Amino acid sequence: MRQVTEGIYWVGVMDWDRRWFDALVPTPDGTSYNAYLVRGSRATALLDTVDGAFEKNLLRKLAGLERLDYVVAHHAEQDHSGALPAVLERFPEARVLCTPRCADFLKDLLPVPQERIRTVADGEEVSLGDRTLRFLHMPWVHWPETMVTYCPEEKILFTCDMFGSHLATPELEVSNERVLEPARRYYAEVMMPFRGQISKHLQRLSSIEVEIICPSHGPVYRDPRMIMEMWRAWVNGAPKNEVLIPYVSMHGSTQVLVERLVDSLAERGIPATPMNMLTNDLGRLAMALIEPMTIVFASPVVVLGLHPMVQQAAYTAAMLKPKARFVSLLASYSWGGKPEEQLKGLLGSWKVEYLQGVMCKGHPRGEDLKASDDLAELIRVKHAAAG
Ligand code: FEO
């Protein structure tokens, strides 16, 4: 056990080797499944469990515990609830506290006896004696059933996946510099599509005095100002006067168009970042998508469509729904294809304006470079109008 503060302990596990999370997002720094034990003068609560693969690790940490009154399930996803059946078996007196929606999910996902679950209302408090647990329903962070817990006596907020980071570390807390990229990656990969809901939750949290944040992944924050300010900027900040260009080039033509657009935008005072999708993973793409106002995909035409890696980038962007307002395309081809139509189809429900792109036959010539310059100028005008 590692002490967070008197009577409150971290009892989670480090997953040093995990490189893919949910078989979906890259986790180059591993991750942790944070569980916290809160020992009050009259009762004891475990806040979340751990991934089922590590249930024995958690039970070893709880071996000396004579009684467990509550297990708080902030979130039904298995990286936090997987060990819940084993904990309930070990502590037959314990009751699960969770939102009504979470109760449904737990019953669906795990062998959790229904009679062991007690649902809690938004704002409801459970007293542990000299410690109180106040439950705040905060749905869609990043599932619909999520909630957080506030301990007013210690001013600690247990935030579930909110403010999390995929970072395995021997320390309970690390420097802001160390956690910055894992926290940014976590937000981008997991939370970005839910900005609207999260914005309301951040507003609600601003009225609560928080001295320590205990998330369910990554380090604890004893000074939560940095992580809260970063989240407010990512969630609520306006898109920046920047362009991201996810691209692949097969024989160099697309590369020429990309470089021309980067230079043309730079002449107009707009920083543009090319991102080769052969050498950057989807986590790096997700992070780069957080702020730019425009995303220009760039691709050779392959079997009449976009290169598969560019399709993947476009699909991922549309799924994450970053705050960008404009999307366009640079494409090079030899004998035909409809990459623009394909890209527009991939955008789905992502609310962006499509700007007429550049279709270049063969190696870029004068008119193709002029078309790239025209796109740069259109982006400048659009950015200026969007303010
Ligand atoms: Fe960390 Fe959404 O589970």
pLDDT tens digits, 326-376: 999 999 999 888 999 999 999 999 999 999 999 999 999 999 999 999 999
Q: What angle do CA 282, 371, 243 make, to 5 degrees?
A: 35
CA of 278 to the centre of ligand 1 (A): 28
Nearest of 96, 90, 102, 165 to residue 137 by alpha carbon: 102
Query: Which uninterrupted H or E stretch holds 331?
Result: strand 326-333
The residue whose CA has the least distance to atom 3 of ligand 1 is: 77
Q: Are 294 and 354 in contact (CB under 8 A)?
A: no
The residue whose CA has the least distance to atom 2 of ligand 1 is: 77
Predicted pLDDT at 26: 86
β pairing state of 8-10 and 36-39: antiparallel
Q: Are 250 and 357 in contact (CB under 8 A)?
A: no
Ligand 1: does its nearest atom lie under 6 Å from the Cβ of 77? yes
The residue whose CA has the least distance to atom 1 of ligand 1 is: 161
Ligand 1 closest atom vs CA 143: 2
Ligand 1: does its nearest atom lie under 6 Å from the Cβ of 75? yes
Ligand 1 closest atom vs CA 78: 3
Ligand 1: does its nearest atom lie under 6 Å from the Cβ of 18? no
DSSP class of residue 364 equals: -
Ligand 1: does its nearest atom lie under 6 Å from the Cβ of 373? no
CA of 161 to the centre of ligand 1 (A): 5
Q: Which residues make beta-bridge pairs with 273? A: 244
Q: How many CB atoms lie within 10 A of CB 41?
A: 10
Over the stretch 114-142, which tens digit does the pLDDT of each residue have?
999 999 999 999 999 999 999 999 999 99
Ligand 1: does its nearest atom lie under 6 Å from the Cβ of 161? yes
Residue found under tokens 């024995």: 56
Over the stretch 241-282, which tens digit does the pLDDT of each residue have?
999 999 999 999 999 999 999 999 999 999 999 999 999 999
Ligand 1: does its nearest atom lie under 6 Å from the Cβ of 189? no
Nearest of 193, 194, 72 to residue 132 by alpha carbon: 72
Q: Are 225 and 323 in contact (CB under 8 A)?
A: no
